């Protein structure tokens, strides 16, 4: 009997119960009861502010995308390019006829005669009855000097084919050529629209701008292999996941920072050659916003008749920029 009583007194349940109750009471009295109402309210305000900022950001990006699509689809937009013809010095007949020195993909058999002088002067004499217009006004006969894209002012638009087709004169390096457009081009009439990565604020950066000495240039090569020195006002510097990246900027003459870049998505989800992006140049240095959600494809992604600049080696990023415009979609089937 004594052995049995001793056995009951030594039971782990009898010995451990007070300790267990005390421990539970201690937990109940001193344990974490969760965030306070003030903390909950503060967190809710932060989340609401973040959601509002994301909505504003997305709205701005979508507005830029809508404007881009509208510009691409204009009758004289990049999608309407149908030819790029390099001129030889002297006279050349222009038209769709098989015997013409500059044979066009659209329009009457003969539009007129173009002349390139050694000094770079380009003149044109419209063929009578060809329905030629200069900047929307009917040709009045005689010879007309054409403004090129290398001259001061807007290039002369030579229209024909009842206004559906036109050409301007461009200069690349020392070469002059006719850039021909046709509003009825399949690249325009069967255009499927644009494809994008999802908008992601993680690819919007407050970037540091480091100015270069005034007058500095950078060598830019276009898809034709022609090299050109372009104004290089500075470099933008941003960080992603703790890694610093740098992009040399070009100034095309409007004061903005023009960024030509390629990244680890190039040739996969995005266009292989490059993508373009603009940023504002700070008035006194400092920072600028680099938003890759606004990155877009160059014209050469849609047509072989453009002369797009390629990214300098320094602008080929070892980073996947999963933001902005993706590679072009296939053309829609013919009706």
The pLDDT tens digits of the residues spanning 131-174 come to 999 999 999 889 999 999 999 999 999 999 999 999 999 999 99
3 state SS for 187-247 = HHHCCCCCCECCCCHHHEEEEEEEECCCCCEEEEEECCCCEEEEECCEEEEEEECCEEEEE
| Spans of all domains in the chain | 78-189, 192-315
Task: Report yes or no: 327 and 271 within 8 Å, Cβ to Cβ.
Answer: yes
The pLDDT tens digits of the residues spanning 43-81 come to 989 999 989 999 999 999 999 999 999 999 999 999 999
Q: How far apart are the first and last CA of the chain?
A: 104
What is the pTM (predicted TM-score) of this model?
A: 0.85
Mean pLDDT over the full length of the chain: 91
pLDDT band at 31 (very low <50, low <70, confident <90, very high): low
Burial classification of residue 124, based on how many CB atoms lie within 10 Å of its CB (0-12 exposed, 13-18 middle, 19 or more buried): buried
Closest to 247 measured CA to CA, from 259, 233, 264: 259
**Higher pLDDT pick, 38 / 245:** 245
Across the range 15-24, mean pLDDT stands at 47
φ, ψ of residue 166 in degrees (nearest 5): -165, 170
Whether the per-residue pLDDT at 21 is higher than 50: the answer is: no
For CA atoms 65, 71, 75, 80, give the dihedral sign.
negative
Q: Does the domain at residues 78-189 carry the CATH identifier 2.60.200.20? A: yes
The pLDDT tens digits of the residues spanning 297-330 come to 999 999 999 999 999 999 999 999 999 999 999 9
Task: Report yes or no: 44 and 50 within 8 Å, Cβ to Cβ.
Answer: no
């Amino acid at each position: 009997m004594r052995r049995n009583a001793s056995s009951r007194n030594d039971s782990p349940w009898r010995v451990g119960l007070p300790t267990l109750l005390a421990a539970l009471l201690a937990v109940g009295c001193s344990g974490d009861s969760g965030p306070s109402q003030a903390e909950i309210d503060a967190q809710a305000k932060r989340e609401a502010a973040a959601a509002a900022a994301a909505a504003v950001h997305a709205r701005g990006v979508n507005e830029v995308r809508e404007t881009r699509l509208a510009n691409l689809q204009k009758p004289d937009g990049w999608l309407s390019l149908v030819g790029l013809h390099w001129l030889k010095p002297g006279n050349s007949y222009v038209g769709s006829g098989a015997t013409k020195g500059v044979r066009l993909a659209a329009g009457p058999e003969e539009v007129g005669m173009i002349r390139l002088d050694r000094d770079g002067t380009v003149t044109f004499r419209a063929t009578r009855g060809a329905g030629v217009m200069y900047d929307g006004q009917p040709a009045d006969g005689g010879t007309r000097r054409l403004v090129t894209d290398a001259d001061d002012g807007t290039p002369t638009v030579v229209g024909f084919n009842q206004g559906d087709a036109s050409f301007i004169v461009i200069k690349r390096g020392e070469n002059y050529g006719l850039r021909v457009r046709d509003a009825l081009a399949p690249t325009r009439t069967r255009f499927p629209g644009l494809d994008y990565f999802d908008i992601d604020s993680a690819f919007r950066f407050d970037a540091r701008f480091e100015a270069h000495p005034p007058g500095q240039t950078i060598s830019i090569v276009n898809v034709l292999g022609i090299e050109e020195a372009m104004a290089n006002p500075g470099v933008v510097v941003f960080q992603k996941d703790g890694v610093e990246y740098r992009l040399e900027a070009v100034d095309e003459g409007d004061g903005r920072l023009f960024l030509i870049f390629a990244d680890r998505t190039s040739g996969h989800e995005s266009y292989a050659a490059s993508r373009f992006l603009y940023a504002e140049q700070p008035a006194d240095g400092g920072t600028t916003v680099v938003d890759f959600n606004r990155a877009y494809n160059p014209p050469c992604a849609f047509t072989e008749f453009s002369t797009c600049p390629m990214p300098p080696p320094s602008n080929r990023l070892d980073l996947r920029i999963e933001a902005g415009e993706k590679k072009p979609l296939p053309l829609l089937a013919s009706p």
